[in-house]
Every structure is written in structure tokens, then in C-alpha cells.
Amino acid sequence: MAKITPKQVVVKILLPVFTLILIGSLVLGIFQTEPVNGGLPINEHKWAHEDENSFYFPFSKKFSMPKYIYKKKTKNWLFFQSKQEDLISQSHIAHYNLNDLHSTAEAALNKENVLILTPMQTFHIEYWNNILQLSYPRELIEIGFIIPRNKNGDETLKKLEKEIKNIQTDKKESRFKKITILRQEQESDSFNALGEKDRHSLAVQKERRSKMALSRNQLLFSTIGPYTSWILWLDADIVETPTSLIQDMTFHNKPILAANVYQRFYDDNKQKEDIRPYDFNNWAESPIGLELASKMADDEIIVEGYSEIATYRPLMAYYYKANESPTETMSLDGVGGGCTLVKAEVHRDGAMFPTFPFYNLIETEGFAKMAKRLGYAVTGLPNYLVYHIQE
């Protein structure tokens, strides 16, 4: 039997100790909290959506970003590690040719992507159920919401997120391509910061609609993508539309097309259910309206529907004829955001919602003016009705 020398005893004792020290240093290195590349410590890091308070719901619960591809590996046998030369996969760099992107009369047949955008103050289940009954292929639909930052917005977010999770974790054919929820940065910027009683006062319309325009712009620029062909602006209060809404509206192949927003109500005089016009922001310009604008300062706005500013504009709401074709069109100069379809190229060309008086118009009506200045026609469907929730 070989005799063990004192040197060998020391090696046998110290080797496991050094091994434990080495393993411990590696483990501590994994869980270190020092700033990385001058940034936040790892344990204080937040993903972008946590800082922005934004929520993204991709079409699949198994959705994940493309992984890096590791090809060349060199073993380091001392520490049992691999030195890896990483190559970025092709999916990390995308090329889009917007010249090949089209908005046509046969949108569903040509697999054109539609982005539905809704500023949402209050969640109405009737709105959501109406979205679910639309017959346009869901794999071609993206939806975007922006919600105020206040108590009402918090409650709205909970209800909306619950419904979204239900549908986006359902079978694949039931899921929408993508759903995005944005929260406004500050409560003071909320588009419903004013009380219900005050928000319809003429004196606050400039402030209110400026905030509404800001919200629409934030939602638009945060959600429009390189595959978006159409954008459907749909108010959260619109609770009833034809199931073929998107196909019906894209069929006209117009740059901007507005449906006629009505409301169901119970008529006490007739003792039965009836309908009445609701949205008066879809209008054609009048000589009196132009004359009023010519006498206004640059920072003043014309707001339709107030007796203090009588424009005598032809309002599409009053041009509805029950027995006429729903495909009949009329030229407009102003639109509302109730149910308006826009070709994505109109927004990409720079037509947005002015937060400032633009030719004495603001928000959606200012958008229509801006689009016309860019050479796009604005059209309405007086006999094609969608319905606002009953109040």
C-alpha cells in the first residue's frame, strides 16, 4: 500500500475547498446586483411595459421574442463553460416594403390588416360583445385602447383586461392578431378629466377636445404597424353595428369614411322603441360656417351642435332615409370619431388629430380638414347606421 505524503494530504483537503469557493463565486456572480453597463442593478430592472404601464396581449399565450442563435462553441474544460459567438437571427432585423401595402375594396380577400382604435373611458360589455360578433377574420384584426389614469380608468382596465385574457387564451381561431392597452401618463391629461355635467359645456370644449386629440394621437402612433392597411376609429359607446361592418366600409375603398351614429330610445309619445340621430360631427361645410371662421382669431374654434355658434352646416345625421340604400354616400368636410374608417396611408402621410385650432377646427373635425388639405376626400354613409349606447 502506497504511503500518502503530507503534500498529498494538503492537496486533498484544499482542492474541495477551492472548488466550493469557485462555485460560490460563480453563483454570486449570477445574482449580483451591481449596475450592468452603467444601468440599473439587475434586481431593480423593469421591463418597458412596467415603466410605461402599458399592456400587450399577443395572439398566443406562448408568444416569445425570437431567440439568439449560437453556432460556434469552444469548450473551456477548466470551468466547464462554452465561449459562444452569437449570431443574431434574421427575425431580429425586419424589412418592410410599404409600397406593397394596399388598402382595397376586397380587404378580407386580400388579407389586409385592420387596426381598431378605441379611447375608452368606461367599459361597456355591449361594446366588447359587438366587437366579438364582427365577421372580419380575427387573424387580420389588431385592437388598441387608451384608458385614462384615474379611479374610473382603473376599474375599466380590470374589466377590459379580463375579457381580453379570456379571448386571447381561447382556441387559436378565436384570438385577435394583437391587442394593446395604453394608460395615459397623468390624470390631468385624461380625456375625461372633466365631470359629466361640465364636459359638454361650450366653454370647455377647446380644452376637452385638445386632450381627446392628444389621446387619439398617442394611441395611433403607438399601435400602427408596418402591416396596417386600415384603421377603424370606434368609440367605446358604440354597442351595435352590422356584423359585416368592416367589409361593408372597406368595400367603398374611400380614404376616410364615416358611418351615421344613431341611438335607440323609448319614445314616450309613441309608446314604443325608436331611433334618433346622435353624432353631429359628420358635416359638410356651409357658407355661414366659412364666414364665421373668417372672422375668428387663429386660436378660436368652431364647435358644431351649439346654438351659440350657428353654422347651418348640412349634418349627415339628418340625411338618413330609412328606405334608401345603405351604400349611398355624401361628401363631408368634418367627421366624428364614433365609427370612422381611415386608410392607414392617410395617417402615415401626416393627417393626425390637431390638439390646437387648425383652421378653427380641432380633434376629429380638425383631422378631416388636415386630410383634405393633403388631398384626401372625406365621405359619409348617411343610411348606414351604427348605434350609441342608450343613456
pLDDT digits (tens, 9 = 90+) for 212-258: 999 999 999 999 999 999 999 999 999 999 999 999 999 999 999 99
Q: Residue 74's pLDDT is what? A: 46
Q: Does 202 score more than 70 pLDDT?
A: no
Domain 109-388's class? alpha beta
Handedness of CA 305, 306, 307, 311 (dihedral sign): negative
Q: Does 71 score more than 50 pLDDT?
A: no
| CA distances (Å), origin 184, targets 76, 94, 119, 187, 373 | 51, 29, 10, 7, 30
> And the C-alpha cell for 172?
387559436
Q: Are 368 and 347 in contact (CB under 8 A)?
A: no
pLDDT digits (tens, 9 = 90+) for 127-175: 999 999 999 999 999 999 999 999 999 999 999 999 999 999 999 999 9
Q: In this structure, are strands 141-147 and 113-119 parallel, antiparallel, or unpaired?
A: parallel
CA distance 285 to 358: 15
CA distance 252 to 228: 18
Q: Are 202 and 166 in contact (CB under 8 A)?
A: no
**DSSP secondary structure letter of residue 270:** T
Q: What is the DSSP string of 87-137?
A: E--GGGS----GGG----TTTTTTT-EEEEEEE-SS--HHHHHHHHT--S-
Handedness of CA 304, 124, 247, 277 (dihedral sign): negative
The domain spans of the chain are: 109-388
pLDDT digits (tens, 9 = 90+) for 303-354: 887 777 889 999 999 999 999 999 999 999 999 999 999 999 999 999 999 9
Q: Are 121 and 194 in contact (CB under 8 A)?
A: no
Q: Residue 63's pLDDT is what? A: 45
> And the C-alpha cell for 11?
492537496
Helix (H, G, I), strand (E, B) or coil at 356: coil
Q: Are 93 and 225 in contact (CB under 8 A)?
A: no
What average pLDDT does the chain have? 83
Which range (80-94, 99-113, 120-134) has the least confidence?
80-94
**104 — pLDDT class (breaks 50, 70, 90):** very high
pLDDT digits (tens, 9 = 90+) for 2-32: 555 655 655 566 666 666 666 665 555 544 4
- Give the other-Cβ count within 10 Å of 304's Cβ: 18
CA distance 308 to 295: 15
| Extended beta strands in the chain, E state | 55-58, 69-76, 81-87, 113-119, 141-147, 178-183, 228-234, 238-240, 256-267, 272-277, 330-331, 339-343, 378-388
